[in-house]
Every structure is written in structure tokens, then in C-alpha cells.
């Protein structure tokens, strides 16, 4: 498509957004829409915008003791990650699975255990480091663990085969869709938008599905994310 692309790898997520905002990078592709919204709220002078959507990596609920949701006993302990975004996502996963009920909230709003409206099975919610989730899965005192897909894959888990429940693309999960972003002034840059078109190319999608199982393609408009 006439593009010369230079790829740079970062281990620090915050530097990726700052690099784009400062003009040192043109585009980045690593974050969920929820992460972007949080970044923009805290960086009024370095606002970023979505060029297009890429995929969602479903968070899964895993258990070594139970093969289905209905088997989890009342009073059991459920583990979710302890950073704000993952904690919120974990709680929404439990609510989507019907294990508890949350107060009404927008899809882009972060929730905490204080937002639990009903917990009819008296589940105990414990928070853990996301990187520790696979080892916590082996803890007999924990009935089930919510694990993000990257961590699950690194532990050899397949969200579609090994989880007892996983996210679906819906109103409550659309904020977890990953996006390609740039600065607001370049939001309509035709050259940068070619990257979005390339991502959704059939041959590239075939490669992604082979190399990175668990990524579910999402080809939606920016309006879809905001509504």
C-alpha cells in the first residue's frame, strides 16, 4: 500500500502513548479503548484519538475444580486482578457470567467491589497480581480465577477451550476492544488509516489467527466504541 513502516517495541505502556503525543511516534497499537480513555482523562494536553479497531482478547474465568459455572458452591472465593482496569474487567466478567450483579454503569466506567449490588451466592472476591493468576489457579482455596488472555496464553491456556466462561463482544465489553491510535490532529490521516485496512486484510488475519489464538477480530467504527 506504499507504506514504509518502522516498528519499535516498548516494555513501558505509558511511554508508548507519550511518544505519540510528543510526536516521536506516529501511531501505536497496544491498548484497549478503556486504557485510551483513562490516558486521555489524565493527559489533557496530549490527547490521542482512535484510527480504528483491531481485536478483543476475551478474558476468561478458569477453574481447576469446576467445569461449569453452576457447580461453583456458595461462599466460594473468586480471584480477579488488582490493578483498576483489570479489577473492573474481572468484576464485569463475573456479572456477565451471572455470578453477581453490579450497579448500573457505562461501558467505559471502571467499577470496584463497592459497586457490587447483589451477591446472592455470597462469593468472596479476592484481588491478586495478574501475573500470579495461573499459579493462584492451582490454589485449592480459590474456586475460579479471572485471567486476561495474554497471561493465559503465556501459561499455555486457551480461552476458548480451557475457560469455563469467557467474554463476548457486547455493550459491557466493547471498551476492551484494542485500538490503533494517533494524535487528535491526525485522526483522519489517510496514510495512517491504511494501517487499519492492512490489519483487517484476510491474509494478515489468517496469520494472526494461526500465531495468536485468542485474538478475536473486531472491525468496528469509532462511533461504535463511543456510543
pLDDT of residue 107: 64
Q: Provide the CATH number for the domain formed by 60-166 in this structure.
A: 3.40.190.10
How far from 194 is each of 23, 32, 51, 122, CA to CA, in Å?
19, 20, 9, 50
Mean pLDDT of 76-90: 92
Nearest to residue 59, comparing CAs of 156, 177, 174, 167?
167
Contact 189, 50 (CB under 8 A): no
The runs of H, that is alpha helices, within the chain are 13-21, 33-42, 84-96, 133-136, 149-154, 159-162, 190-199, 202-211, 222-226
Q: Provide the CATH number for the domain formed by 13-57+173-226 in this structure.
A: 3.40.190.10
pLDDT tens per residue, range 93-108 = 999 999 999 998 766 6
Residues 172 and 106: their CA atoms lie apart, in Å, by 8
pLDDT higher than threshold 80 for residue 46: yes
pLDDT tens per residue, range 5-36 = 999 988 888 899 999 999 999 999 999 998 89
Mean pLDDT of 46-63: 96
Q: Could you give the residue range(s) of every CATH 3.40.190.10 domain in the chain? A: 13-57+173-226, 60-166
Nearest to residue 182, comparing CAs of 15, 9, 29, 34?
29
Mean pLDDT of 111-140: 95
Residues 54 and 31: their CA atoms lie apart, in Å, by 10
More confident: 223 or 172: 223
Mean pLDDT of the chain: 93
pLDDT tens per residue, range 56-73 = 999 999 999 999 999 999
pLDDT of residue 85: 82
Which sign, positive or negative, has the C-alpha torsion 201, 205, 206, 208? positive
SS3 call for 76: coil
Q: Which residue has the cell 476468561?
A: 60
Amino acid at each position: 500500500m506504499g507504506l514504509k513502516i518502522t516498528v519499535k517495541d516498548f516494555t513501558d505502556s505509558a511511554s508508548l502513548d507519550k511518544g505519540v503525543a510528543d510526536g516521536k511516534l506516529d501511531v501505536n497499537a497496544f491498548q484497549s479503548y478503556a486504557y485510551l480513555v483513562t490516558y486521555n482523562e489524565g493527559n489533557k494536553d496530549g490527547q490521542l484519538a482512535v484510527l480504528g479497531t483491531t481485536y478483543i482478547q476475551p478474558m476468561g474465568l478458569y477453574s481447576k475444580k469446576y467445569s461449569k459455572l453452576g457447580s461453583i458452591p456458595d461462599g466460594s472465593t473468586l480471584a480477579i486482578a488488582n490493578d483498576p482496569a483489570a479489577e473492573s474487567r474481572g468484576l464485569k466478567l463475573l456479572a456477565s457470567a451471572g455470578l453477581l450483579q453490579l450497579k448500573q454503569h457505562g461501558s467505559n466506567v471502571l467499577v470496584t467491589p463497592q459497586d457490587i449490588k447483589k451477591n446472592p451466592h455470597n462469593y468472596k472476591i479476592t484481588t491478586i497480581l495478574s501475573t500470579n493468576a495461573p499459579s493462584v489457579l492451582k490454589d485449592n482455596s480459590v474456586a475460579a480465577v479471572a485471567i486476561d488472555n495474554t497471561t493465559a496464553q503465556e501459561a499455555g491456556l486457551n480461552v476458548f477451550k480451557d475457560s469455563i466462561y469467557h467474554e463476548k463482544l457486547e455493550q459491557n465489553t466493547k471498551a476492551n476492544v484494542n485500538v490503533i491510535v494517533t494524535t487528535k490532529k491526525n485522526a483522519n490521516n489517510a496514510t495512517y488509516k491504511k494501517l487499519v485496512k492492512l490489519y483487517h486484510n484476510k491474509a494478515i488475519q489468517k496469520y494472526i489467527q494461526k500465531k495468536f489464538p485468542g485474538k478475536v477480530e473486531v472491525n468496528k467504527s469509532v462511533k461504535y466504541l463511543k456510543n
